[in-house]
Chain A
Amino acid sequence: MANTKDVIKGEKVTLKIEPGMNILQVNKQLAQKNIELLRKNNVKAIDIMGSIGAGKTSLIEKLVQKLKKKYRIAVFKGDLTTTIDAERIGRHGVQVVTINTGRECHLDANVVARAIERINLKEIDLLIIENVGNLICPAEFPLGTDKRFVVVSVTEGPYMIIKHPFTFMNADVMVINKKDLAETMKIDTRKLEKQAIQIKPDLKVAITNALTGEGVEELIKAMEL
């Protein structure tokens, strides 16, 4: 800080401040608020990450079908501009809130907090949040959920996991989807599994075919739902 004694009015001085402000911390604090609010209302929440076309929405459809007797479910659907997926999920008779991010490549705790305001937490027990299709940005923005799972599909090639290690470090469960296409794509799912375990030894794995529902029970078990 400049010595004010030597400064005459209007003179320019240089000032150095040290805010020590963590940009990601703001989101983390909001995420903490979200989870506290959800827990207070006895609502479990899960966040689903994965690339575009990995099968996130199809998996949610199957999860909703299998879980809607056990839980009253609401789904938040992160989407850039459309409501197509929301309609797909809505057909299964659960409440869907579309969060159109417009340009943003991920959801953050703030938009989730706004969406929570639009539902009655007393009327649900399980909140499923589908993140924007992207394997990178969502990793840095916790939303305030109990657990996160990340979906990779065999059509994305053999290197999805090692290319995005931080996303897998931030997940509790990994789903390898489109199991039925593994052979055609010449993908060994055991290798994918091994790569993921190398990055995070306690990561749980479920191998699914979201179209038929195969493996979805394992996913439910892994997510402790």
Chain B
Amino acid sequence: MTTQIIEAVLEEAKRHGAEKVTEVQMSIGKMTFLGNEQVRFSYKILTEDTIMKDSKLIIEEKDGVIHCTNCGYKGEVQLKDDPAYHIPVPTLQCPKCGKTAKIVEGKECTIKSIRMIKKEEEK
């Protein structure tokens, strides 16, 4: 995943003629299995030999939002907190009608912005 993120950033940087990328801002949904820390770790290693070396990675986490097509409820993903497991488990169950709702937010992995340095040509 991180490789794909970096490839996409490098491509954008190339398109804009950048010689260095200084900052990448990402938005990652909490309804994905993408771990913040792991993305950071692999980002650091994978950018080492690129113009993205030492660039700052900002990750904004996005909460999950569900929409129920049965009753129209739209809101944050509910958590089932079963004391037997110690961890709250997210559920697609609509808190209003109990039917299965759809995830409308929280599944993204978006490159929001890239800050780069380039040599400006005289216009």
Contacts and interface: CB of A to CB of B under 8 A. Distances in A.
A199 interface: yes
Interface centre among A18, A136, A140, A202 (most CB of B within 10 A): A140
Contacts of B98: 201
Nearest to A5: B123
B91 A166 contact: no
Interface string A1-19: 0101001111111111111
A20 interface: yes
A12 B109 contact: no
A84 interface: no
B7 to A, nearest CB: 9
Interface string B91-119: 11100001110010001111111111111
A15 B99 contact: no
Contacts, number: 120
A10 B117 CA distance: 12
Contacts of A201: 92-93, 98-100
Given A23-B109, A23-B110, A201-B98, A15 B18 contact: yes
B117 A166 contact: no
Nearest to B111: A21
Given A14-B22, A21-B8, A165 B90 contact: yes
Interface string A173-216: 00000000000000000000001001111110000000000000
A120 interface: no
Interface stretch (B26-34, B41-49, B53-61): B26-34
A121 interface: no
B100 A19 contact: no
Interface residues of B, number: 43
Contact of A12 (B82, B89, B117): B117
B122 interface: yes
Contacts of B99: 201-202
Given A24-B107, A169-B92, A200 B117 contact: no
B14 interface: no
A25 B86 CA distance: 34
Contact of A15 (B34, B91, B116, B121): B116
Given A198-B80, A198-B89, 7 more contacts: A9-B122, A13-B117, A17-B12, A24-B32, A137-B33, A140-B1, A201-B100
26 contacts: A4-B120, A4-B123, A7-B122, A11-B119, A11-B120, A12-B19, A14-B115, A15-B18, A15-B117, A16-B115, A17-B12, A18-B114, A19-B8, A19-B12, A20-B111, A22-B108, A23-B5, A23-B110, A23-B111, A24-B109, A165-B89, A166-B32, A169-B31, A198-B80, A198-B82, A198-B93
Interface of B: 1, 4-5, 8, 12, 16, 18-19, 22, 31-34, 80, 82, 85, 87, 89-93, 98-100, 103, 107-123
